[in-house]
Amino acid sequence: MKGQNYINGAFVDSSSGEKFESRNPANIDEVLGTFPLSSENDVDNAVQAAKTAYDKWRKLSRIKRGEYLDEFVQLLKKDRESLSQLVTKECGKGIAEGRADVTEGIHMIQYMFGTTRMSHGDIIDSEIVEKDSFMRRRPKGVVAAITPWNFPFAIPLWLICPSIVEGNTVVLKPSRETSCVANKIAEYAHAAGFPPGVINIIHGGCGDSLVKHPDIQVVLFTGSCEVGEGIKKVVAESYNKMCACEMGGKNAIIVLDDANMNIAVNASVISAFKTSGQRCTSAGRLIVHENVLKEFEKQFVELAKRIKIGNPLDGDVFMGPVINQAAIEKITQYNELAKKEGAEVLLDGSRLTGKVYDKGYFMSPFVYRMQSNSKSRVLHEEVFGPHVAIIPVKSIDEAINVYNDTEYGLSCAVITEDFRKARRIREDCEYGLGYVNLPTIGAEVHLPFGGVKKSGTGLPSASTLIDVVTHRTAWTVNHDVEIKMAQGLSVELP
């Protein structure tokens, strides 16, 4: 694929003239596409196009704006399978997950389209009966969306769809690792006939100048803590910008002593190893009651050993490659660090070699037991790979303390048959996404998606992004012929 930026309704090259490649992580000799390394000038062009389009776009009715999304989704649905294959080829997750990513993106478009004929403000009583007040939403302007490679289809659509339905226009800067999928999103948006400038996509190397651009009102970001913290600093220094950042987790499954062992083991394998542990919702910690520890460990390790690793396009492969060489190095370092920090290794994971493995970035699961320890780095830092700790606990109180003992707070699951214990977890653990008898992954688009503490800015994405990309305004109308004031403010005029 020869990728280009998509600015003001046209596919254009970058003024930088520089290029980068996107490769298949399961076969690094395969170049999937070449893309422009965008410059500050390209960023400016894209933001100006979005700014110009904004005025007309915001004046369309919400229903009319939604109809473009309907057209968009009809086109995407026809090519679901080829899009899923591209997602899998470019980011390496299993084909079932490639399909789920495309489905999740389609759901977001359908959901936002569905909201356009529903009420979307409030009517609020006044203390004066002749007055009506309304909470009305207004768009904010030009939105910058910066998205990761692990959900190359769904996450851009999570961020684009609520923004544009509300009347904003968007400049998307996708991860370099998954530029082909982003280019496809641009092609389908173009075919759906969105007015020029409503959706703009610029590739590679320009996130910083996009965030700093004075005409960007909102920055939506999903990715690493380091980048998110940088964005928060830029926003703090400007008077007209705000941001919503989703920034990872050190999520956990809590397995209590009454747990259904089948659910506990399956939920843990799914949470730790789907997407090769590279979701922000993946579980890096399994907090297990000592009464069931032995049984849990035995079954979990047995199942983890049986995981099929290989070409993610093969339907029976559970784990594809990790994304790149840097990921291999980071995960390997954390596996080594766990050993140094006193981990009891139950399943030693490493880079796989030989046959198909030599062509890509394949790693096997690493499972270890470690006592809770506030100084351990591996129990506190996000690894973003197939690396999971089993932490024994003696009670539900200890499980809650261990769960909360990280700087993150995204996804939490408890496995129990006792609704009272589940309620303790619901009330006392710090999280944005909570699950009972389920994995930590797999949230649906019509739920709020976001974490607390270091995991996010407390402004969840997906459905609740509407609150981020709109100003809520108060609009009050008097139906009387005289002015009656609330708060006893009515006075005789002189």
Q: How far is the CB of 226 from ligand UN1 (least distance, A)?
A: 16
Instruction: Tell me if residue 243 is catalytic.
Output: no
Q: Under a CB-based contact definition with an 8 Å cutoff, are residues 28 and 153 in contact? A: no
Q: Does the footprint of ligand UN1 cover residue 93 (CB under 6 A)?
A: no
In the bound state with ligand UN1, the residue whose beta carbon lies nearer, of 232 and 424, is: 232
Query: Could you say which of 48, 276, 281, 372 contacts ligand UN1 (CB under 6 A)?
Result: 281
DSSP 81-122: HHHHHHHHHHH---HHHHHHHHHHHHHHHHHHHHHTTS--SE
Q: Applying CB under 6 A, does 280 fall inside the site for ligand UN1? A: yes
53-61, 133-141, 437-445, 475-483 -> range binding ligand UN1 (CB under 6 A):
437-445
**Min dist. Cβ of residue 84 to ligand UN1 (A):** 15
Choose the stretch contacting ligand UN1; rule: CB under 6 A; options: 279-287, 297-305, 347-355, 416-424.
279-287
Question: Judged by CB under 6 A, which stretch of 6-14, 40-48, 235-243, 438-446 contacts ligand UN1?
Answer: 438-446
Using rule CB under 6 A, residue 465 touches ligand UN1:
no
Q: Does 146 bind ligand UN1 (CB under 6 A)?
A: no
**Residue 419, number of CB atoms within 10 A of its CB:** 9
- Nearest residue (CB) to ligand UN1, 159 versus 343: 159
- Smallest distance, Å, CB 223 to ligand UN1? 8
> Judged by CB under 6 A, does residue 151 bind ligand UN1?
yes
- Residues whose CB falls within 8 Å of the CB of residue 14, separated by 6 or more in sequence, listed in order: 5, 36, 37, 38, 39, 42, 203
Q: Which of 235, 443, 465, 469 binds ligand UN1 (CB under 6 A)?
A: 443
Q: Is 279 in the site for ligand UN1 (CB under 6 A)?
A: yes
Residue nearer to ligand UN1 on the CB measure, 133 or 266: 266
SS3 at position 293: helix
Q: Which is nearer to ligand UN1, 359 or 426 (CB)?
A: 426
Site for ligand UN1 in 293-332 (CB under 6 A): none
The closest alpha carbon to 158, from 459, 445, 477, 483, belongs to: 445
Residue 426 or 446 with smaller CB distance to ligand UN1:
446
CB nearer to ligand UN1: pick between 197 and 249: 249
Does the protein bind ligand UN1 through residue 442 (CB under 6 A)?
A: yes
Decide whether 209 or 281 has the Cβ nearer to ligand UN1: 281
**Residue closer to ligand UN1, measured from CB, 108 or 259:** 108
Binding footprint of ligand UN1, residue count (CB under 6 A): 10
Helix H, strand E, coil C: the string for the chain is CECCEEECCEEECCCCCCEEEEEECCEEEEEEEEEECCCHHHHHHHHHHHHHHHHHHHHCCHHHHHHHHHHHHHHHHHCHHHHHHHHHHHHCCCHHHHHHHHHHHHHHHHHHHHHCCCCCCEEEECCCCCEEEEEEEEECCEEEEECCCCCCCHHHHHHHHHHHHCCCEEEEECCHHHHHHHHHHHHHHHHHCCCCCCEEECCCCCHHHHHHCCCCCEEEEECCHHHHHHHHHHHHCCCCCEEEEECCCCEEEEECCCCCHHHHHHHHHHHHHHHHHCCCCCEEEEEEEHHHHHHHHHHHHHHHHCCCECCCCCCCCCECCCCCHHHHHHHHHHHHHHHHCCCEEEECCCECCCHHHHHCCCECCEEEECCCCCCCCCCCCCCCCCEEEEEEECCHHHHHHHHHCCCEECEEEEECCCHHHHHHHHHHCCCCEEEECCCCCCCCCCCEECCEECCECCCCEEHHHHHCCEEEEEEEEECCCCCCCCCCCCCCCC
User: Of 90, 166, 177, 246, which one is the catalytic site residue?
Assistant: 246
107 binds ligand UN1 (CB under 6 A): no
Is 222 a residue that touches ligand UN1 (CB under 6 A)?
yes
What backbone torsions phi and psi does residue 297 show, to the nearest 5 degrees? -60, -45
Radius of gyration of the chain (CA): 24
Tell whether residue 272 is a contact of ligand UN1 (CB under 6 A).
no
Q: Closest CB to ligand UN1 among 279 and 421?
A: 279
Question: Minimum distance between the CB of residue 442 and ligand UN1, rounded to whole angstroms?
Answer: 5
104 is a catalytic site residue = no
Q: Does 435 bind ligand UN1 (CB under 6 A)?
A: no
Distance CA 150, CA 103 (A): 14
Shortest Å, Cβ 443 to ligand UN1: 3
**Shortest Å distance, C-beta 146 to ligand UN1:** 13
Contact flag: residue 441 with ligand UN1 (CB under 6 A): yes
Closest CB to ligand UN1 among residues 178, 281: 281
Least separation in angstroms between residue 444's CB and ligand UN1 is 7
We find the least distance from the C-beta atom of residue 279 to ligand UN1, in angstroms, to be: 4
Out of 243, 280, 412, 429, pick the active-site residue.
280
Rounded Cα distance, 445 and 338, in Å = 35
Q: Which of 22, 150, 183, 376 binds ligand UN1 (CB under 6 A)?
A: 150
Which listed range, 63-71, 159-167, 182-190, 435-443, lies at the site for ligand UN1 (CB under 6 A)? 435-443
**Binding positions for ligand UN1, rule: CB under 6 A:** 104, 150-151, 222, 279-281, 441-443
Residues assigned a catalytic role = 246, 280
